[in-house]
């Protein structure tokens, strides 16, 4: 009897899979059997090596995700390389820090373009193909603790991740009846390049660790199980949820 978590034969398109959370998600999906189409500006050679070692196919789709107009082209390229996309993981994101009084339009627009606008149009492009082919599909968005909280000095990031939470629910409402599951993962404090400044700040690092019941920063691999669940038949009746993987941060 096949496992409900088996992704063998599935094609997963993952944005921002070269390092950090994206790499952890891509590797986790590959270890469950999915072939990976990774989207980004530079070839994720390390991720490719790990995925292929797991016995899965890997393709790189080069794209600047600040340009949402390329969404259809990206999904088409993934299909050409590996086959129709079954799973879309909208992981790529950027963050800019500044006091709200000094925040620039440039930093606002760049973050919203990558973190929210492209998420929508990639989801739309993937879903159009799924619906046209009569195929079920899974879309997993990467939200944040700031989908629930305000944060400080990250106005555009908070706005974008709050938008991701709302968009996840909206798309789930519209597409659940078409066999497409749309859900999100909200990572807690994960040790990646984006959080390097926080971890380097001794006072802020201690404050963060003091609130996390698990007592440690998360690792990208800690998110893999949630991604496999939301990408697999095990989650077929799960729609519009935002799954926090946060070491207990929100429970505190």
The set of catalytic residues is 157
Residue 177: count other Cβ atoms within 10 Å of its Cβ: 8
Are 6 and 30 in contact by the 8 Å Cβ rule? The answer is: no
Determine the Cα–Cα distance for residues 161 and 153; give it in Å rounded to an integer: 14
DSSP labels, 202-243? HHHHHHHHHH-TT-S-B-GGGGHHHHHHHHSGGGTT--S-EE
How many whole angstroms separate alpha carbon 4 and alpha carbon 8?
11
* 224 phi/psi in degrees, rounded to 5: -65, -45
Contact 221, 28 (CB under 8 A): yes
Q: What are phi and psi of 33, to 5 degrees?
A: 115, -5
DSSP classification of residue 153? S
């Amino acid at each position: 009897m096949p496992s409900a978590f088996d992704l063998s034969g599935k094609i997963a398109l993952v944005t921002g899979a070269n390092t950090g959370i994206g790499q952890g998600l891509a590797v986790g999906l590959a270890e469950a059997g999915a072939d990976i189409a990774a989207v980004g500006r530079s070839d994720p050679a390390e991720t490719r090596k790990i995925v292929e070692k797991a016995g899965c196919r890997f393709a790189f789709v080069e794209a600047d995700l600040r340009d949402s107009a390329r969404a259809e082209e990206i999904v088409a390229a993934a299909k050409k390389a590996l086959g129709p996309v079954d799973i879309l993981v909208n992981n790529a994101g950027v963050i800019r820090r500044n006091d709200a009084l000094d925040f620039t339009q440039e930093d606002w627009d760049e973050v919203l373009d990558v973190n929210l606008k492209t998420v929508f149009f990639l989801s739309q492009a993937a879903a159009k193909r799924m619906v046209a082919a009569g195929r079920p599909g899974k879309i997993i968005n990467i939200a944040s603790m700031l989908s629930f909280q305000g944060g400080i000095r990250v106005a555009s990031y908070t706005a974008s991740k709050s938008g991701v939470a709302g968009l996840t629910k909206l798309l789930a409402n519209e597409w659940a009846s078409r066999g497409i599951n749309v859900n999100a993962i909200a990572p807690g404090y994960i040790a990646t390049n984006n959080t390097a400044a926080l971890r380097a700040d001794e006072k802020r690092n201690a404050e963060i660790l003091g609130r996390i019941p698990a007592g440690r920063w998360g690792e990208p691999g800690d998110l893999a199980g949630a991604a496999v669940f939301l990408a697999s038949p095990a989650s077929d009746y799960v729609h519009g949820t935002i799954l926090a993987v946060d070491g207990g941060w929100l429970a505190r």
